[in-house]
Chain A
Amino acid sequence: MDGAIHAEDTWTVAGRSFRSRLIVGTGKYKDLEETAAAIEASGAEIVTVAVRRVNLSDPKAPMLQDFVDPKKYTYLPNTAGCHTAQDAVRTLRLAREAGGWNLVKLEVLGPPPTLYPDMVHTLQAAEALIKDGFEVMVYCADDPVAAKRLEELGCVAIMPLGAPIGSGLGIQNPAMISMMIEQAKVPLLVDAGVGTASDAAIAMELGCDAVLLNSAIAMAKDPIRMARAMKHAVEAGRLAYLAGRMPRRMGADPSSPLTGLIRR
């Protein structure tokens, strides 16, 4: 099947290689059963997770690890809810102890309604985390100057937004994403903004190494089916990128030869 055709088309982040170019979040699902089924259907090998206080009044409540096996999936702990470098470092140190690994997703957000990446605090937090031994995949603005600085600091992946988190507005900035891909020396992923399968395909056609999404699957009417759609969209977009699209032209060019037509 098509999986075999590009079985060797892997991408590598922080020395780890992955076949799937789709990273999925584990938030916003109806329950943990649905989370597990959607992730399975997506084919993702990396999943983002949040770090939160345990509920002391219900210690036997089912936990994410019981449904999404950390031995099978690479957990990518995030810093959602952290507003300073100190918060981010503190949260991810706990994540490292809980999970025993150092590959993390840094996100420091500004206020609603945009939740736009706060690049001043993101840069500070990235520096602190890298100093502390973390390998940082960083959510960022579609800002090539800030992205360059993050890369120079030692971030292992640059992850600009295609549109605000959870908006599902699609890739609003294809030109800037393309320029950032051109300049990046580490993997570049679109993180946030994907609303449906074609958006994920567009991100991959631009030349992204992978796509990170959550709401587009979790908030779909049928999340499991959308997870499958995303899997195929990312594969299709990647294949189209590798194949190289035809040039755009103004005006038609017939697909059938004009010679040899029958005449009366």
Chain B
Amino acid sequence: MQTSLTVSINGERRDLTGPLSVAALLDTLGLDMRKVAVERNMEIVPRSTYAATLLADGDELEIVHFIGGG
């Protein structure tokens, strides 16, 4: 059954249609899952669980990667 989800990704509000896994979200966003890390409600989502982790309404996500730094 489809549900509507409102989540925050990197501080931006996004309206999505569920059920949606972290893996599917990254795919939708066009991100290479091998190059990012995901935190969901302050907890790390291990890469091995991206496909099995379903987003819930109100989730707060941070998606990060490595950039140049000193």
Contacts and interface: CB of A to CB of B under 8 A. Distances in A.
A94 B68 contact: no
Contacts of B39: 90, 93-94
B29 A98 contact: no
Contact of B69 (A50, A90, A93, A97): A50
Contact of A54 (B45, B64, B68): B64
Nearest to B45: A97
A65 B30 contact: no
Contacts, number: 103
A28 B70 contact: yes
A98 B69 contact: no
Contacts of B35: 63, 65, 98
Contact of A165 (B29, B42, B45, B70): B70
A166 B64 CA distance: 25
B52 interface: no
Interface string B23-55: 000000111100111110010111100000000
B68 A35 contact: yes
B29 to A, nearest CB: 6
Interface stretch (A14-22, A73-81, A180-188): A73-81
Interface of B: 9-12, 29-32, 35-39, 42, 44-47, 62-70
Interface of A: 25-29, 32, 35, 48-54, 56, 59-60, 63-65, 75, 77-78, 80, 90, 93-95, 97-99, 165-166, 214-215
8 tightest CB-CB pairs across the interface, nearest first?
A: A50-B69, A25-B70, A214-B70, A98-B37, A59-B30, A26-B68, A97-B37, A53-B10
